[in-house]
Chains A and B, each alone.
Chain A
Amino acid sequence: MNGKTAIFRSLARGWLNGAVELLMFFPLWLTVAALWLQPQLQASWLLGLLLLCLCGLLMSLRLRTFWVRGVAAIVVAAIYMLPFGYSSWQAILVYAASVTAILRGAAMMDAEHPAAHVRRYIGGIASYFIGYIVFRFVPEWHAYLPWLTWAGIAALAIALFAVNRRVLLQETLSDNPRAAARAMQGYNRFMVVVVLIVSLIVTLAASGLLGRWLMGGIRAVLRWLLSGQSEQEPDHKPEAPQAAPPALPKGGESGWFQHFLDILFYVVGIAVACLLLFLLVRLVYRSRRSIAAFFKRIWLRLAAILGRKSEPAMNAGYVDEETDLFSWEAVERGIREKLRQSFGSKHRESWNELQDNREKVRYLYRQWLRKLLKNGYSRKPYLTPDETWHDVQEWQAAGGKRASSGSAGEITETAEVIGLYYKSRYGGKPVSDEEVGKLLAGAAGKRRSP
């Protein structure tokens, strides 16, 4: 990059920073214009601030001393103010604001990335907050509210991006934070946009504007769907003479029928719209990879045209492989399980559902434990099955509520269950039908005995 290009880039960056700063404190400039300038000159003066900012930048290339810059700014602002006139003392205040704009522009030459000015930006957002309230209180200034609103949305967006970028720069803990943050900023920008959109939607919804827009939109779509007429067509022509209402066959019958049809059409229309939306979302989801590939191709082509380095070249030290873990099947399973847990009856294990002997042995072990818990034994999950068995014996010996009689036969049987449990659970060995049959016979005998 040669010297001229570097200067040109610095100028462009500085001007951009200056413009952002002007936007951030737009309520202040607007107040100056609204207070002390005639309405027809206000827009010109406000746009002219961008030029003053550029003048300040150009001055800063040659003039390094602050007071020299100050003198130059006073002279340039004096020339700039000629079309606006010096008819009153108020013009002096506007003139002072113009000098400030030039000096701020000069300061932007050496300024860093906008992320470095986060604190100032937050101040700017506060100025919008206060400014909007003030402008609402002055009836003559209501005309400026749309200006403030749009500028405020832009300022908010810039401030959010700047805050996010500053966070990334800080969290990298890197000596070269810009390079580190660059690799992550794509998705972060997307998140900031989402936050901004959500904020807009919530505000619109809260103010009722969104509801009105939505209802209007739905009505328009339904009219278009049902009658093929666009919303642009007037519903009724005021100049047309009022036609005499046709005679109804029976009093009021057509009224409720019409109402019913209206509702039916609305329902059908909404259902069709939902179906179309669902199909669209499904189509987009299914072809997401090809869409992503398409946009990536476009991005790479643009990057090649603009001479930017491609991503792999930047991340030469490592290779990332990203895998999507999301599946609709898993979501469906999860929802079904949640619903079953919340509303359905508790799933009872069924002997017939068990796949093999290993599962059957584990089932018997769980049954044994459940029976003990039912009888008052408190399970200690940190114990192994063997230790649990010893603990149960101690508990029974100590006179706890007995789960069983504790006969010699039963003790042998429990020991067998635990032995087979170890074999199937931890040994990974197959359990024969005979072994399971023996356990079952023991369990059946116990049920028969009084």
Chain B
Amino acid sequence: MQLQWLLLTAFGCMLVLAWLYRRVALLRVKYMRSFSHEAVYEDDYIEMTETLVNRKPLPLPWLRLESLLSVRLVFDKQTNLDIRSGDMFQNHISLFTVRPFRQIVRRHRIRCSARGLYRLESATMTAGDPFGFAQVARRFPLSLEVIVYPRPLPLGELPLPSHSWLGRIAVKRWIAEDPFLTAGTREYRPGDSLNSVHWKATARTGELQVHKRDYTADHRLWICLNVEITETMWKTVTEPQRIEHAIRCAAAVAEYALSRGVDTGFLCNGWTQDGGKHAVRLEPGSGIEQQKALLETMAKLQLESVMMFADLLKEEVQAGTSGADFLVITCHTAGGMHSRLDQLKRQGNGVEVMHVPEMGGTAT
């Protein structure tokens, strides 16, 4: 055997491999990615699953997948994966060696460290031959998103002057009977009107029976979140941690109120991702759907003010809102807020102010 021919043959093999990989490396290769949950709370763990399928006889000695993800999705430490973080995004690189006719399912554990709506729109796949002569890349469109709700604070940690206030929300709903809600029949009591008599039940039992009405509240709760740190703050929130805390307070109140059947809405002078640069106004409602809507809105909330909070309250005054409870979660009450709140009170609304403490400070 002549050595020079072996060397030339080896070089030829490398060139053939390069040609082959340039042509077919990414043929019959499929890639999918999914999250285990669509919505989670802050600091929850989710699983990101990558599925890579190679349906051809040619192995892929190395395959690199790159995608841009928010830095707030925190990956566990890994070896054949690298994450290069910037301030906003991290370049997530996943490396594979794929044998012929193989499917690899890779599951990553991710901690959702902060609320928000996180999207993954595409991933770039690069593969090549073992000797670096050829390299091909393809972009895989993905439409993944995961929404991270703010984690509601425990009720005991809410910065309220008295925790009994939350009880009042629940108590208020027993004020009035709802003529549209019937909960069976009961015996007639003095004072019951004649039109409440249930004649069929009376005939059946032989005693005078009336419709038993369920109770309801005509009160609605508005959770009003002010993202201004001070009255002079201009647009971007200067103490994000404080407002994040305020959002967690709002989430806690919203969950508590909704769990007790109180119609709950949300007002905020910030704006939401996907919602345009308008102040947030989510009409009061109840049930699981409303809870989901509220938490989603809070998750998408951007830390930027689009209008003065006093002006937002003024709009409510002008809209003639009455018979509602306003819980104002704010860092300050200056700049005409007091007068607006007084006006709301005069219109028959209940108003409570929850001061957001400075981080490390105590409730006021």
- Point out residues on A near B: beta carbons under 8 Å: 125, 128-129, 132-133, 136, 145, 148-149, 152-153, 156, 160, 163-164, 166-168, 170-176, 179-180, 182-184, 186-188, 191-192, 195-196, 198-200, 202-204, 206-207, 209, 314-326
Contact = CB atoms under 8 A, between A and B. Distances in A.
Contacts of B78: 315-318
Given A195-B13, A325-B103, A206 B5 contact: yes
Given A152-B3, A318-B76, A325-B102, A166 B132 contact: yes
B7 interface: yes
B88 interface: no
Interface in B199-250: none
B55 A156 contact: no
Interface string B277-301: 0000000000000000000000000
25 contacts: A132-B4, A156-B10, A163-B132, A164-B61, A164-B130, A171-B128, A172-B80, A172-B95, A173-B82, A180-B95, A182-B80, A184-B80, A187-B97, A199-B9, A203-B9, A206-B9, A317-B78, A318-B106, A319-B106, A321-B107, A323-B104, A324-B102, A325-B101, A325-B102, A326-B100
Given A206-B9, A318-B81, A191 B61 contact: yes
Rank and list the top 7 A-B pairs by shortest CB-CB distance, nearest first: A317-B78, A183-B80, A326-B101, A317-B76, A167-B132, A174-B82, A199-B10
Interface in B38-87: 53, 55, 59, 61-62, 64, 66, 75-82, 84
Interface string B120-132: 0000001010111
A176 B14 CA distance: 27
Contact of A173 (B7, B55, B64, B79): B64
B183 interface: no
Contacts of B104: 320-323
A56 B53 CA distance: 51
B24 to A, nearest CB: 15
B3 A128 contact: yes
Contacts of B108: 317-318
B332 interface: no
B164 interface: no
Interface of B: 1-7, 9-10, 13-14, 17, 53, 55, 59, 61-62, 64, 66, 75-82, 84, 93, 95-97, 99-109, 126, 128, 130-132
A315 B5 contact: no
Contacts of B59: 187, 191
Nearest to B54: A325
A115 B66 CA distance: 24
Nearest to A151: B3
A149 B1 CA distance: 8
B107 to A, nearest CB: 5
A326 B59 CA distance: 13
Contact of B97 (A184, A196, A199): A184
Contacts of A186: 97
A317 B62 contact: no
B79 A314 contact: yes
Contacts of A125: 7
A152 B97 contact: no
Contacts of A184: 61-62, 80, 95-97
A199 B13 contact: yes
Contact of B9 (A136, A174, A180, A202): A202
A198 B109 contact: no
Contacts of A192: 130
A167 B17 CA distance: 14
B105 A323 contact: yes
Most chain B beta carbons < 10 A, residue from A163, A179, A187, A207: A187
A62 to B, nearest CB: 37
A316 B4 CA distance: 46
Contact of B62 (A163, A171, A174): A171
A180 B80 contact: yes
A25 B276 CA distance: 68
A183 B96 CA distance: 9
Nearest to B6: A203
Given A199-B10, A325-B103, A316 B76 contact: yes
Given A179-B79, A195-B13, A318-B106, A167 B62 contact: yes
Given A207-B1, A324-B102, 5 more contacts: A132-B3, A184-B95, A206-B9, A322-B105, A323-B103
Given A319-B106, A320-B106, A204 B1 contact: yes
B62 A188 contact: yes
Query: Interface centre among B4, B79, B97, B128, by most A CB within 10 Å?
Result: B79
Contacts of A149: 1, 3
A319 B97 CA distance: 14
The listed residue with most A CB atoms (<10 A of its CB), out of B59, B80, B81, is B80
Contacts of B131: 160, 163-164, 167
A446 B110 CA distance: 65
A186 B103 CA distance: 18
Contacts of A317: 75-79, 81, 108-109
Given A167-B130, A325-B55, A187 B99 contact: yes
Contact of B10 (A170, A195, A316): A195
A99 B139 CA distance: 55
A316 B77 CA distance: 7
Contacts of A191: 59, 61, 130
A192 B84 CA distance: 30
Nearest to A210: B1
Given A160-B131, A203-B9, A171 B64 contact: yes
Contacts of B64: 171-173
A323 B102 contact: yes
Contacts of A204: 1
B79 A315 contact: yes
Given A152-B6, A160-B10, A204-B1, A188 B55 contact: no
